[in-house]
Structure 1
Amino acid sequence: MTRLDKTHVTNVQAKSFPFDFWYEWYQKYYRQGLRLYLAEQGGNLNITSTARFPAVLRSLAAFRDSYTAGRLLGPLAPLSKSVANNVARLFGSDDRSTTPLVGEYLFRLSDGRELKVCIDSHDSGELTSSDLAKVNDIYFKTNYWKRDSYDRRVIPLFNCNPIVIEHLKLLRALRNQTPTVDITFIVRVWGGNNEVEGSEHCLRLLEAVAKSKRSKFLLAYLVGGDIKSMTTRLEKAGIAYTMEPIPPKLLWEHTARSRLSIIRLGMHHCVPWRMCDQLALGSCTVLDQHPKTQWTVPLVEGEHYLSLNTSTSPDQPVAMDTEYRLIPSLLEEFLGNPKKVVATARASRNYFDEILDPKQVGRQICETVLSW
């Protein structure tokens, strides 16, 4: 039986909202995956929008929501956002997503069926739109909490970093670098429900890792809270810090030259976007704790990542003191088994190439829709 004899996806229609920067950004990886996979299968992805000047609106949205522009403009930033919104109205910016960060898709199959599908890419484990979950056939959730009870139509999906798409060649080229340090830990110091209460956990992780006698590169990116108090603690522990974003290429270069690369769960305890980068690099990733969310193909401890075994939650933003004290000895244990470090890095690389590469993500989305 040939492929054409089987039911397959012939077309996917994706809604686009050019003036909703974050909607477009959070759906980018999944759209690219569908585009690549469908093209290989003889199908196609169509992006639909009611906007008359999508390119103009997209540029205005990127400027309005740009961190760099906001920093440069300083006190004028709110005014610039207002100007961008007013200019956008002239170009028909009434085009709005039903719910922010929830992509809406229509899958057309070769047997004539049509299936309505959503991709909820919000960091929270809660459904961003219970209304869309009720009226769609499938509701993919990128941060699918293992502990929660979802409707049968809610299905776990990977949490994918859109910046990876344009840099796949570089990320793969950085694999198998000769290590120059044992441990790298570059972290944005924030987290929790208010973006501040998770800072203490980040600081304690940094302080614990700093006690390791192994060679290391530590850097704290400070974005909010009591900056003065934080810098005092970091200086005391001999940890470098910055108030400026770390360029992705520099972040990846440091990561690629380290035997172990530590990252923490995301602000809402999701598997962070950086895990996508880590897997693409083929790094031996050390998570601060075990993931609380599940991907389509689960990440396995000891195979795709190692864990520092700290335990935080939305209601408990800081782990127990004993868990932080054990971190230096855990790192020594990991580094004392170089074969395990190499095997974890290799498994990570294979996971990305076979499962998380954009085209592979598109394939799995389509296969899930067809199995439904």
Structure 2
Amino acid sequence: MCEKDRQSRKEGRINHSGIKCMCCKTVFDLASFAAHSDNRTQRPSATIFLSDGRSLLQCQMQMMHASKQKNFPHIRLKGDLTQHQSDTICSICQDGGALILCDHCPSAFHVTCMGLEDVPEGKWFCPSCRCGICDHSEYNHDVEQFTKTTMFSCDQCEGEYHVGCLRGERLQQLGSCPNGNWFCSKKCLKIFYHLCELIGKSNPTSAVGLSWTLLRWGSNDNSDLGRFALEAMAEHHSKLCIALDVLHECFVPMTETRTQSDLVADLLFNKESELKRLNFWGFYTMLLEKGDELVSVATFRVYGDKAAEMPLIGTRVLYRRKGMCRLLVNELEKLLCSLGVERLLLPAVPQLLQTWTTSFGFTQMTSSDRLELSKYSLLSFSGTTMCQKLLGAAKTVSGVPADTYEDIVSSSK
């Protein structure tokens, strides 16, 4: 319909391939159908209506509100996690057996996976529970009191830091928990800032007719968002639901034993958890699209400039063996290089290990490599082999002014 006079411009019928125009019998995607009716808009779903009078955008909004994927405020301050049930599998290899337990969080590990010869005596803390400056683990559990031993995490690399250590190193003089986002360094802020700028935008690839889009469900309270932001969220939600269908098509069902939930859905919709290996707040979803049609999906998380992980990548059956996976990986590697990230990690299943190492340039990680990155809660699966690829890390991040870090930190205090 025309946005001004609400008169019908074109009529069509939805089929498996798109919208078939009644006048010319051509099948269009949403944007092309809107353009075909001389109704050029950035949000074609708002001007395409079903026979019952609802716009496609209204349908998307209803789907989003009816879904179980809710957003909650991100918890940055580290509170008392000792009351939570300890994990029953190793956070490194994802297998069970005899495990040592962290005395601060529910995480569990094999002695050998942590590079230890024997079970530690007394209290033991996992690498991700240690301050990124002093490497000590004791902290103030009371989130109501902001002291020098209060510990909180960076919104990008997810590293944890004591307030006193930040003050002592003269990195940041914090008198209270920051409002909004907080970052441990300029590098982390620039990465976060750049990724946020890309969310929801279509970007060309080296292949004609194919583009990639970055999405992230996030974990913010959206009750005060304006209409246009909610409409964008509804469209993102719809795309993530389609991405979930694609990954379900590519992988066997993955039900997490601890939560009895769909692990892939938890990942795509950034579900948080007190258990670090199930905390997916930092993940992004990268879509490879042909018009409005979803071709391939990859999930990734960036741990500052040190490493990024890509635990899941899948291509629709219709587009397999056509180089779509390689194209998406190449675009992700370009993005990570522009962010200055040093390496990309992924868990390879046995039947694809040779493909990743010979065709994509990855190498199997050694035990020492994995131990070096043990402070990062990398998502892996039982029976997989963790691989890595060193990237040509760029020195600068495009489009981010040098004074951005100071401006944002000041506004978030």
Query: Max radius of gyration: which structure?
Result: 2
Looking at secondary structure, tell me which structure has more helix per residue: 1
Q: Normalized against structure 2, the TM-score is what?
A: 0.26
Q: Which has the higher contact order (CA 8 A, sep 6+)?
A: 1
Q: Normalized against structure 1, the TM-score is what?
A: 0.28
